[in-house]
Amino acid sequence: MKKLVDLHIHSNLSDGSLSPVEIIDIASNSNVAIISIADHDTVDAYNDSLIKYARNINIKIIPAVEISTKYHGKGIHVLGYNFDINNNKLTDKLYTIRNARHIYLHKVIIQLEKIGFIIDAQSLDKINAVTKAHIALNIIENKKNEKLLLQIFDHIPNKGEFIEVIMNEGCPAYVKKETISPIEASELIKEAGGKVILAHPVAYKYEDGLTDNDILNLVKEMNADGIEANYIYIDKHNNKINEVKYWNNFAKKHNLITTIGSDFHNIDGIHPTIGLINENIQLNDSDITSIIGSLLN
């Protein structure tokens, strides 16, 4: 049986639902041989005991992080791989970005409460790398918000739809969050000895209206090594969009390496699971070897 690879998984140290150990256990049980926990703006998942635990059950871990950045007003995520997780410049900047998340949290709560939403600020403030997804879920899952949600959406939205309609730029609860540029994120990763990958370009196409030229210019400006081409996008209406072939061709045309990731947060029956089990991504052993080799060399 062919071993699987998943280089974009979130743990409960950012906005995922599973602990790093639980992720490794699922990977092992799902025939996933190589993984990366790419939490938002933190590398806290990585420690000697986790690496040892993974090694003991034949799971290879490539250190990763997903850095939140802004580019011409658009939210862009930059993935870093195989860097020094103890690089002080990188970890200090990640701490600053995470701290900015909590400043943002308290500002956006004010705006959301003005609209009429009830929010458990205390529980959100306990989350180290709090994200818009955490905030959206906190509201959606609170039965006290059901009436208002139905008034605004005519249904109970998922977290992506709530964020796009209520929290993003130009929306009623928009708050500007202090962040860094993709170029700065790329420089930090490279200075720490890592490879830089533009996360899920397909998402910027559908969520932000970026064209191929926009994405190519972004990749060039940030001096990225590649793109996350092997990625299944789920839009705000839970439609599954598979443009894997398109983005692999884009990468080949522009001499970029490719990676593969589920962007797993939790098991919901909609989004890809760890290892992208049952998703239509046709990677053979040589493709996988090439991907891993590009990140490790």
pLDDT value of position 297:
87
DSSP label at residue 17 = S
CA dist 146 → 59, 116, 131, 142, 204 (Å): 42, 11, 21, 7, 30
pLDDT value of position 1:
57
pLDDT value of position 65:
98
CB distance 98 to 129 below 8 Å = yes
Task: Write down the pTM of the prediction.
Answer: 0.82
CB distance 104 to 134 below 8 Å = no
Helix (H/G/I), strand (E/B), else coil: 85: coil
- In whole angstroms, what is the distance from residue 80 CA to residue 186 CA? 8
Beta bridge partners, 80, equal 65, 196
Show pLDDT as tens, one digit a residue, over the chain (297 residues). Answer: 568 999 999 999 998 999 999 999 999 999 999 999 999 999 999 999 999 999 999 999 999 999 999 999 899 999 999 999 999 999 999 999 888 888 999 999 999 999 999 999 999 998 877 889 999 999 999 999 999 999 999 999 999 999 999 999 899 999 987 789 999 999 999 999 999 999 999 999 999 999 999 999 999 999 999 999 999 999 988 999 999 999 999 999 999 999 999 999 999 999 999 999 989 998 999 999 999 999 998
Q: What would the two tokens of residue 132 be? A: 């818009």
Helix (H/G/I), strand (E/B), else coil: 117: coil
Domain boundaries 4-84+180-296, corresponding CATH code: 3.20.20.140
CB under 8 Å to 60, separation ≥6 — which residues?
A: 33, 34, 35, 54
B/e letters for 177-199, b = 16+ CB within 10 Å, e = fewer, are bebbbbbebbbbbbebebbbbbb
CB distance 223 to 196 below 8 Å = yes
- In whole angstroms, what is the distance from residue 75 CA to residue 72 CA? 9
- In whole angstroms, what is the distance from residue 261 CA to residue 9 CA? 7
pLDDT value of position 107:
96
- In whole angstroms, what is the distance from residue 67 CA to residue 187 CA? 12
- In whole angstroms, what is the distance from residue 230 CA to residue 260 CA? 5
CB distance 64 to 8 below 8 Å = yes
CA dist 30 → 33, 35, 54, 149, 176 (Å): 9, 12, 14, 37, 40
Domain boundaries, the chain: 4-84+180-296, 94-167
Handedness of CA 248, 249, 251, 255 (dihedral sign): positive
* H, E, C per residue of 145-181: HHHHHHHHHCCCCCHHHHHHHHHCCCCCCCCCCCCEC
Q: Element (H or E) spanning 215, and its range?
A: helix 212-221
The residue assigned the tokens 């993935």 is 79
- In whole angstroms, what is the distance from residue 31 CA to residue 28 CA? 5
Helix (H/G/I), strand (E/B), else coil: 230: strand
pLDDT value of position 135:
97
- In whole angstroms, what is the distance from residue 84 CA to residue 192 CA? 5
